[in-house]
Amino acid sequence: MKSRAILMIVCSCLILSGCGKSSPSHSDDIKTAQTAETAADTQPEAGKQTGVTAITETEAENYEGYSGLWTESSFSHEEIITYGGLEFSIQVTEQNNLNGYLFMQQGTSERIAEIDNINGKINNGELNYKYNDDGWGGSGTLHITFSNNDAIQIEVQDYKMKDTNLSGYGFSGVYQLQRSEQKKEEEKESIRADNQTSEQDLLNAVHEKYYSRWTEDGMQNAIAERKQYRDQCSFYPEVEEYLEQVREVKDISSLVEPLYYTDMKIYQKEDFDDVPPLIIHLAKNEIYARHGYIFKNEDLNNYFKGQIWYEPAITSENFKDSLFNKNEQENLKLLSSLDTYK
């Protein structure tokens, strides 16, 4: 058995100040792992708004986030050994090159089936691997489907059982896999240790990302040009009041940077205590906006186009969740669970 297993410029007031938005959950509803809008299509043509610079729409798919242990019912490796079940351990390198093994143990009889050295390239979320022996002489093709970092499905196709296999044991049918709970906790701790930056580092990164490319005149001109969009956003006065009254932000930082730095640090549930539903909703949507997602919902579209950090470029149909880094993936799960804005 094997076990392989982010300074704000002087005008910026608070580290959490800034205007960025999250992916929609009602009229422009974007689920945790997928995008699905229901509002009328008011998509702006990328790069044609005043003061907007389009970004490249073609991005390579990256499946490295799938690396780890996947099991049925999120069992740990120890539970598989004790009670039986199936585990799929994989390592993805160079974005889409997979190597791993598939192991299954029957709880009562302790029969074991396994396929070693499963390898190949993931294309469009799928990989097919033909095997000749599962430990019981069975052969077939593993059709592996990767679903938004949340699930993996393995369907055994063209399965042939060896005539001498009287027990009928082996890999067949469809297996729905989730991350092992033990592995989830290990990965979260690793992410926190590796990616949580000091406050000073975070401030430096924010300044570099959102302020350094602007001259003072250029920043003021861009803010003025985008005012037309803020004026057309029905809920912008509510956001402005929150920033001024609660966060005490009375400078231009709320137009230069996002509300939350969800790409640079991992937030906790306590960070959003007493935060209004609208702000949580925008915080979730800005994870998508940061990557140029074009919103179909008119208010969200106008709100983000009113922020000078936002550069619309990718339509919902062409957007891929694989653009998110690990911080964004964790924060998106949290914010989606907290988003109750209607």
| pLDDT tens-digit map of 89-100 | 999 999 999 999
Shared-domain flag, residues 250 and 336: yes
Largest CA distance in the chain: 80
Residue 144: which domain range? 77-179
- Say whether both 226 and 283 belong to one domain: yes
User: Which token pair is 18?
Assistant: 């800034």
Whether residue 279 sits in one domain with residue 337: yes
**Domain shared by 85 and 55, yes or no:** no
Measured distance CA(115)–CA(101) in Å, rounded: 6
What are the DSSP calls for 64-123, one per residue? GGG-EEEEGGG--HHHHHHH-EEEEEEEEETTTEEEEEEEEE-TTT--EEEEEEEEEE-B
State pLDDT tens for residues 1-37.
433 333 333 334 333 334 444 444 433 545 433 333 4
Q: Do 123 and 206 sit in the same domain of this protein? A: no
Instruction: Look at residue 228 and tell me if it is in a domain.
Output: yes
- Give 281's contacts (C-beta < 8 A, 6+ positions apart): 22, 24, 25, 26, 339, 341
- 141 and 222, same domain (yes or no): no
Question: For the segment 121-172, what is each residue's pLDDT rounded down to a tens digit?
Answer: 999 999 999 999 999 999 999 999 998 767 999 999 999 999 999 888 999 9
In a domain, 189, yes or no: no
Give me the residues paired with residue 152 across strands: 146, 177
- The answer to whether residue 184 sits within a structural domain is no
Q: Comparing C-alpha atoms, which of 24, 36, 66, 38 is closest to residue 329?
A: 66
pLDDT at site 23: 40
Give pLDDT, residue 38.
33
Rg (CA), the chain: 24
- Tell whether 190 is covered by a domain: no
Task: Report the number of distinct structural domains present in the chain.
Answer: 2
> Which amino acid is it at 153?
Q
The number of angstroms, rounded, from the C-alpha of 232 to the middle of its chain's C-alpha atoms is: 30
Are residues 160 and 304 located together in one domain of the fold? no
On whether both 305 and 170 belong to a single domain, the answer is no
pLDDT digits (tens, 9 = 90+) for 321-337: 889 999 999 999 999 99
pTM listed for this prediction: 0.47
Q: What percent of the chain has pLDDT over 90?
A: 63
Q: Are residues 231 and 338 in the same domain?
A: yes
User: Do 45 and 131 share a structural domain?
Assistant: no
Helix axes 216-231, 298-305, angle to 10 degrees: 160
Alpha-carbon span 56 to 242, nearest angstrom? 34
Same domain as 340, residue 207: yes
Within-domain flag for 71: no
Mean pLDDT for the chain? 81
326 residue type, one letter: K
Q: Rounded CA gap, 34 and 324, in Å?
A: 12
Which pLDDT does position 149 carry in this prediction? 67
Query: Are 25 and 108 part of one and the same domain?
Result: no
Task: Measure Cα distances from 86 to 4, 114, 182 in Å.
Answer: 15, 9, 15
